[in-house]
A and B are shown apart, each in its own frame.
Chain A
């Protein structure tokens, strides 16, 4: 206990020392080993835990739910929580817990596809805009701004009018609306990477632009993409709920948290739990992905990383 306090908490110091020793001993550490001590912050742990729980529940619902989430049972309508129905039943007698479990699947699928669409289009756009001559980069980014300025909900309504209501429409609408944020984040990162000496060195080694984009720029903006994906996922969860609530997303009969909110709305004063349970599920999912995104950003943002 004689150690001076300015050296930081003892557990950190201990960890640092041992990693220092192991580095001396082995000469070359396996990738990322020296980072591991600060890798899992509380934010990442909590966010990742919530996200993991939702994924686990979604997977579980594929093989088992307490009741069939679609089974209508007029004899057991609007029951309160009990041993048979932990979270009660809705106005059609469906088991709320089963609905929430099955609804997590919709949430996850919509999120994954929407974020996937946004990343697949947005990331190449961002890298391209950083590598083409400045004038063309500006054109791409102004088009991007145009998309950013377009209200996402209006886009969804338009797409519904063309394609009809459905989960697929919701996914595409959310995905398109998320493209600009990916393109922007990736562009700013890629511009930085393009100025580095290793890109200059790659050009000096005779590397062609597309190979530089794939092998040098993309891997070095991947951390930004992961963070953005996590943040966009939270937005997608909320957007799916909003669209389903408005009747633009999941069709009747599909288990969806947003749809549950809409169906329970008229009974708000009779059975408020029908709003509370899906509401809590949505809030938890958004919180989980946001915490994960924040934690990952703190860990991967180069401006913050240097300070540690």
Chain B
């Protein structure tokens, strides 16, 4: 395939460049700076002094004023050494470089009389980063390793940081997630400076979580920006997750981590086969029922399986080492074969949301891996190569297709059609060219692929679906055998991304960065489902009105930013330009209009919809951030910015149809020709492709302070306000049909008709590891007002007589005589051709159209309300077509203090406590770590009224969970270090209700059905399997070996 060819060409090129040139991997957005001044014992500047970073080839010489600057320093802890003839050599250890920050290390050198003596001091880390102009939280490799036994996955590590939601969606400050709202996550992810995912994430694809492919063991530094992002980051409204992966090493190092998750019931409530959930449907005491067999297969229908007896496994390993001299590699891979909570299509796999044990991916075989090639610089060119690789599978299908809770619980494991294969790959090459010691540019080329395909899907001889009726047991309830079912989703998303950044420390106080980025995307999703032999639905997101051609938009951006430093004040100013070129023509007007007009309602007739050139989408986004020191241990910061984001491609580009009958053989040739496929379908819901959409926009303002108030205790407090406008949600189009003389409700067009406002407080308190103890506490409290369909949510289209009379716009009949011979037979193509209106029809329909128009203009139309609806006007880009809009006076909002479209957690937080015993406490008690992670989330809101009172919003129950890890490390005489650990998840076995329970919880304190409920008194709590959040306490055992 073409994409594979590109993949290999890029990889080969990178490989050749690697060994022909140099390389120390250096990718911007992923490196920091070290600067400082060197003076003598009298405080006089020392020009010409050398400064090197030990263990690297990086270094520089001080200038006339004794200042030095080293750019492109990879995140990590270093030793800096200065030397100068006539002076004692000085080394400072524990110098930490952080991506996108400047570390200041000053030196004082003493004259030496006889020989150069060496002085080693420990660098005093700045308690707070003085150049932090936005809210940014950073975890380095050592922080991640401290919690590695209990926090296994990258997304779980992210959740420990303030501002990041705990629902597993990595929402930031209440922003949209990949499973909510417009389906587009407000967060952008970077790995080694390369953006992940193609054209925004969306919930219908596994790739919406592809950053999971970066294993926690591969992370060198993880940073989350929850406040204003600098101008170099775009296409996100809430924040940035920046992951820097580890470098290779000069010697071989590695580790293997195995975790055993013992068998056991992993859900609240009874064993499913005995649960009140099934009321009286399970008849284990009835020998006729237990002995029933399927007459077609002879298989016993009702058979219990030991779904709680499955042992789960998790294996993760890393390996790094030299490749050749001056080049090294790092690779990490992970396998997860955990047990499903309930009987599932396949009982081993993993969870997309491990903390909720939801989002089950039935994939006994799976792998997530990352790799990186690096080297030491020999010249001014630096090259890096890396990537992520993921493979897994699952099931795709509805009822009767696979084993699952409900009526399908007795289906055999592994049965059913519709098995899915997922492939997620990211490959990148970066080139850094240092022009001068203060100026460099970086170019990054990346290729991203996210594919999902369904296998073993049955189709008939015509390629149409084959779906059998579900066969039930003798009682007519449980599914006796897996039905043959046609349902599949094919998703192909690819992106070739090129980014060029130019950076220069122009003067001492100005660090300017500018760049541009262009992304070539291919997006195709086809989701087809046959509910029965005659009923199917189809949704496509791709090139308009095609079924197998991808949409190929081009996104480009340009930015410039200047980081200015004046006497401790840091000012970060920038602006960004974003643009979308559609790469295709789009329907004239709105697809929603055409979707319900009789003349273009079916899939085949929609091929006749006129397409026009699309206007490019473009926007500017200014950004400002300021940081000012209050004392040497405290800073205050402000940031303001406008952030744009393209809505999800799924909602921009999708079309949907349903059909109640199989395709008709229009040309009577005894087969369904390609031109006949879909000719009995109707267009339905979720229509897209409208070039009048805009970027979603969030204007964000925040004020924060960082304070190292005592010792190594650091607090951060931020107050923020975000105003989201032009948020994407659907509205409806209405087309007034002249023949029918009535408005036809069109499909739901997605449009920018919603808003959301978020105000909140974000608190972080941490103590770095010292004296064996460390902790990290974070808490977010937010107040949200949001309303869907809050603006002009309905659009009405009314043609005039000119439009009707063109002869090419409007039809009321179609003919199947495609060759014009007066007959319909096998010589015709099978498609339909529109029949032009007669003169009388033009006159009649044109008259009706004008009458309608005049009635609205004169206010005489009964269904037109000038108080709610705008003035009707002719569309500038569509002569002859008039439109007006209706303002939604009752938006589907959630009032105040509720939540955004998917994340309604008004408050959430976590606390991590770590204790580490000293290494000299004897063989038993030394090198022991105990880590406790405590999470808290407030409940979601429900609106109801108490007697005599107006409706109000009420918050639901809190959910808390504590996890404990106990780790014992051993040191053998060779370099091998075994480690044993055990984890206790949900240490206190806390059982909490789901975040939004029934109203009875608020009114009567009930978390179970009412005491007068007949069903409850007869069967017990039929909702017990889904009533509670989280999972019961479970213990995991692990062993890790590192060398």
Do chains A and B interact in one complex? no
